[in-house]
Structure 1
Amino acid sequence: MMRQYELVERVQKYKPDANEALLNKAYVYAMQKHGQQKRASGDPYISHPLEVAAILTEMQLDESTIAVALLHDTIEDTTATRAEIDELFGEDIGALVEGLTKLKKLDLVTKKAKQAENLRKLLLAISDDVRVLLVKLADRLHNMRTLEHMREDKRMRISEETMDIYAPLAGRMGMQDMRDELEDLSFRNLNPEAYETITRRLAELSERNEGLIRKIEDELRDLLIANGITEAVVKGRQKKPYSIFKKMQSKSLSFEQLSDVYGFRLIVNDIPACYRALGIVHTRWRVVPGRFKDYISTPKQNDYRSIHTTIVGPSRQRIELQIRTRRMHEIAEYGIAAHALYKDGEGDGDPLSRETNAYSWLRHTIEALAEGDNPEEFLEHTKLELFQDQVFCFTPKGKLIALPRGATPIDFAYAVHTNVGDTCVGAKINGRIMPLVTRLSNGDEVEIIRSGVQVPPAAWEEIVVTGKARAAIRRATRMAIRKQYGGLGYRILERTFERAGKQFSREALKPVLHRLGHKDSEDVIATVGRGELSSLDVLRAVFPDYQDERVTVKPASDEGWFNVRSVTGMAFRVPGHEKGRADDPDAGILPIRGLSGDINVGFAACGAVPGDRIIGIMGDDKQITIYPIQASALQKFDDQPERWIDVRWDLDEANKTRFTARVLLNALNEPGTLARVAQTIATQDVNIKTLNMVRIATDFTEMAIDLEVWDLRQLNQLLAQLKDLDCIATVKRVYD
Structure 2
Amino acid sequence: MISAAPAIPHDCTLPTWLRSCILEHSQLPKAECEKGTAPIELPKDNNQLVCRAFEFAYQLHKGQMRASGEPYIAHPVAVANILRGLGGDSAMIAAGFLHDVVEDTDVTADEIEAHFGTEVRQMVEGVTKLSKFQFNSKTERQAENFRRMFLAMAQDIRVIVVKLADRLHNMRTLQHMPPEKQRQKARETIEIFAPLANRLGIGRIKWELEDLCFKYLEDAAYNEIKSLISEKRTDRESRLQQVADLLKTNLEDEGINCVDISSRPKHLYSIYRKMQRQQKDFQQIYDIAAVRIIVGTKVECYRALAVVHDSFKPIPGRFKDYIGLPKANRYQSLHTAVIGAQGRPIEVQIRTMEMHHVAEYGIAAHWKYKETGNSNTKVNAEDEKFTWLRQLLEWQNELKDAQEYLSDVKDNLFDEEVYVFSPRGDVFALSQGATPVDFAYRIHTEVGNHCCGAKVNDRIVTLDTRLKNGDIVEIMTNKNSHPSLDWLNFAVSAGARGRIRHWYKQCHHDENMARGHAMLEKVMGRDGLDALLKSAPAQEAAQRSNYPCVEDMLAALGYGEITLNSVVNRLQEATKELQPIEEIDSETLVEQINVRTKWGGDAAVNNDSGSSIIGVEGLLHHIAGCCNPLPGESILGVVSLGARGIAIHRQGCPNVASVPGDRLIPVRWNTAETSTGRPQTYPVMLKLEVIDRVGVLKDILSHLSDLKINVHRATVTTFPDQIAEIDLGIDVKDHAHFDRTVKKLRKMTDLLKLKRISQMD
**SS state at 2:681 partner:** strand
CA RMSD of aligned residues (A): 4.4
Q: Which residue identity lines up with residue 226 of structure 2 in the other structure? A: T
Counterparts of 1:527 and 1:279 in 2: how far apart (Å)? 58
Partner of 1:136 in structure 2? 163
* Partner in structure 2 of residue 124 of structure 1: 151
CA distance in 2, matches of 1:62, 1:16: 6
| Identical residues among aligned pairs (%) | 38
**Counterparts of 2:340 and 2:264, CA distance in 1:** 15
Letter in 2 for 1:694: I
1:615-694 superposed matches below 5 A: 636=658, 638=660, 666=681, 694=730
Structure 2 residue 228 is the aligned partner of structure 1 residue 198: no
Give the CA deviation at 1:411: 2.2
Aligned mates of 1:192, 1:265 — CA distance in 2? 30
The answer to whether the aligner puts 1:306 opposite 2:333 as a matched pair is yes
CA change 1:12–1:376 in 2 (3 A) is: farther
3-state DSSP of counterpart to 1:310: strand
Are the counterparts in 2 of residues 221 and 232 from structure 1 also a CA contact under 8 Å? no
- Whichever residue aligns with residue 681 of structure 2, its letter is N
Q: Which secondary structure does the structure 2 equivalent of 1:339 belong to? A: helix
Does the CA contact (< 8 Å) of 1:159 and 1:190 recur in 2? Answer: yes
Counterpart position of 1:61: 88
Q: 2:78 aligns with which of 41, 51, 70?
A: 51
State the shift of 1:461 in Å: 2.7
Counterpart of 1:653? Answer: none
* Local SS of the residue matching 2:143: helix
**Cα gap change, 1:139 to 1:637, in 2 (>3 Å):** closer
Q: Map Cα deviations across residues 230-284 of structure 1 (whole Å, 9 max, x no partner).
A: 3421121011111011111112122122121111211111111111111111222
Task: Report the alpha carbon displacement of residue 104 of structure 1 after superposing the two structures with TM.
Answer: 1.2
Counterpart check, 1:326 vs 2:362: no
Shift of 1:667: 5.5
SS in 2 for 1:440: coil
Q: Which residue of 2 is the match for residue 730 of structure 1? A: none
Aligned mates of 1:46, 1:629 — CA distance in 2? 58
Q: 2:365 aligns with which of 319, 338, 360?
A: 338
Which one of 731, 735, 751 corresponds to residue 695 of structure 1? 731
Question: Superposed, which structure 2 residues align to 1:479-518 within 5 Å?
Answer: 479=506, 482=509
Unaligned runs of 5+ in 1: 492-508, 534-543, 546-604, 617-624, 645-662, 675-691, 703-736
- Give the distance between the partners of 2:416 and 2:346, measured in 1 at CA: 22
Relative to structure 1, the CA distance from residue 664 to residue 192 in structure 2 (aligned partners, 3 Å threshold; closer, same or farther) is closer
CA–CA distance in structure 1, aligned partners of residues 555 and 103 of structure 2: 47
Matched residue, 1:159: 186
Q: Structure 2: any 5+ residue segments left out of the alignment?
A: 1-14, 24-31, 519-533, 568-581, 584-623, 627-636, 650-654, 664-677, 684-703, 711-727, 739-761
Matches within 5 A, 1:54-453: 54-340=81-367, 346-347=373-374, 349-352=376-379, 356-453=383-480
1:218–1:455 distance in 2 versus 1, CA, 3 Å: same
Distance 1:3 1:330 in 2: 31
Q: Indicate if the aligned counterparts of 1:2 and 1:47 stay in contact, CA closer than 8 A.
A: no
Encode CA deviations 1:294-348: one digit per residue, 9 max, x unaligned.
1111111111111111111344331111111111111111111112399878448
Cα distance change on mapping 1:243 and 1:440 into 2, 3 Å: same
Q: 1:108 aligns to what SS in structure 2?
A: coil
Q: Which residue number corresponds to residue 58 of structure 2?
A: 31
Code of the residue aligned with 2:444 in structure 1: it is: H
What is the DSSP-based 3-state SS (H/G/I as helix, E as strand, rest coil) of the residue aligned with 1:38? coil
* Counterpart code for 2:136: V
The 3-state SS of whatever aligns with 1:636 is coil
Are the aligned partners of 1:2 and 1:51 in contact in 2 as well (CA < 8 Å)? Answer: no
Residues 615/698 of structure 1: CA separation in 2 closer, same or farther (3 Å cut): closer
Which entry has the higher C-alpha Rg, 1 or 2? Answer: 1
Q: Residues 303 and 356 of structure 1 are in contact (CA less than 8 Å); yes or no, is this contact kept in structure 2? A: no
Normalised by the length of structure 2, the TM-score is: 0.66
Within 1, Cα distance between the matches of 2:541 and 2:111? 46
Q: Given that residues 176 and 333 in structure 1 are in contact (C-alpha distance below 8 angstroms), is that contact kept between their aligned partners in structure 2?
A: yes
Give, as a single letter, the amino acid of the residue that structure 2 aligns with 1:461.
L
Distance 1:260 1:149 in 2: 35
Q: Which amino acid aligns with 1:135?
A: V
Secondary structure, aligned partner of 2:337: strand
1:165 deviates by 0.5
Change (3 A) 1:19 1:376: same
Counterparts of 1:214 and 1:374 in 2: how far apart (Å)? 55
Partner of 1:588: none
- AA aligned opposite 2:462: P
1:67, distance to aligned residue in structure 2 (A): 1.3
Q: CA deviation at 1:38?
A: 0.9
Cα pair distance change 1:317/1:15, threshold 3 Å: farther
